[in-house]
Amino acid sequence: METPYRLHYAPDNASLVIRLALLELDQPFETVLVDRRAGAQRSAAYLALNPVGRIPVLVTPHGPMFETAAILLWLADRHGRVLPGADSGARPLALSWLMFLSNTLHAEMRMLFYPDQYTGPDAHACDALRTGLRDSLRRHLALLDRVAGAGHGWLGAATPSALDLYLCACLRWLALYPVGDTSWFALPEHPHLARLAASVEARDSVARAARSEGLGPHPFTTPRLPTPPEGSAT
């Protein structure tokens, strides 16, 4: 029988979040490596799937999807479990925070990792942008730590949600990137987020994803740079 999902991925990229969600949902899927070193995300074939030229793409029975939060929402609506249902009173707030992760936290992280894409090659402008972003991200993390400790069923609960998976991946990347410039971030300073990361890290889905992408035994609590069996994270 044909596998219903095909995940176009690169190791330790945003596609990791979708891989984790598919594993948590027990959904079979195939993977297709997007070779970042060769610029495959800018190829005509890939742009036909995602005209933005970013990773991931999830090819579904109804066609390709891109944007991490959109894919998570679609998977949750199709398979349940990782987000409150349409009739749940918890759904509005859960969706609000999911979009915060995507549109604010992750978007600012991308600027932190690739400042020259926003400022041009000027080194002083890049440094100034990174300084401002670190301050902003500290505030976001403090806010998320409070939310994670508030007892919501969609963040920090016993069964991980789409938000947990997305946030844990973000915590991993903040600890690793940009390489050599991460001393501002310390997960133990955010105790609720640290507990969330340790809880999600113990899941079998995470162990399977870590093996597939070379993330090491503790990908969220004590992450190391990936050593993937194929492809490159950058």
Asked: is 91-203 a CATH 1.20.1050.10 domain? The reply is yes
Domain boundaries, the chain: 91-203
DSSP structural state of residue 154: T
Tally of CB atoms within 10 A around 191:
12
Q: What pLDDT is recorded for position 1?
A: 47
Provide the residue count of the chain.
Answer: 234
Task: Report how far apart, in Å, the C-alpha atoms of 23 and of each of 73, 125, 130, 155 are.
Answer: 15, 41, 34, 18
Q: Decide if 209 contacts 29 (C-beta within 8 A).
A: no
The H-assigned helical ranges of the chain are: 15-24, 44-49, 68-79, 91-100, 107-113, 116-119, 123-148, 162-176, 191-201, 204-213
User: What is the per-residue pLDDT for 98?
Assistant: 98
**pTM score over 0.85:** yes
Would you give per-residue pLDDT tens digits along the chain (234 residues)?
Answer: 467 899 999 999 999 999 999 999 999 999 999 999 999 999 999 999 999 999 999 999 999 999 999 999 999 999 999 999 999 999 999 999 999 999 999 999 999 999 999 999 999 999 999 999 999 999 999 999 999 999 999 999 999 999 999 999 999 999 999 999 999 999 999 999 999 999 999 999 999 999 999 999 999 999 999 999 999 998
The whole-angstrom distance between residue 11's C-alpha and the CA centroid of its chain comes to 12
CA distance 21 to 206: 10
Q: What are phi and psi of 132, to 5 degrees?
A: -65, -40
Quick one: tokens of 202? Answer: 């113990």
Six-digit token string for 217: 């035994």
Residue where the block lists tokens 């969706």: 95
Residue type, 130: R
Query: Rounded to whole angstroms, how far apart are CA atoms 180 and 158?
Result: 34
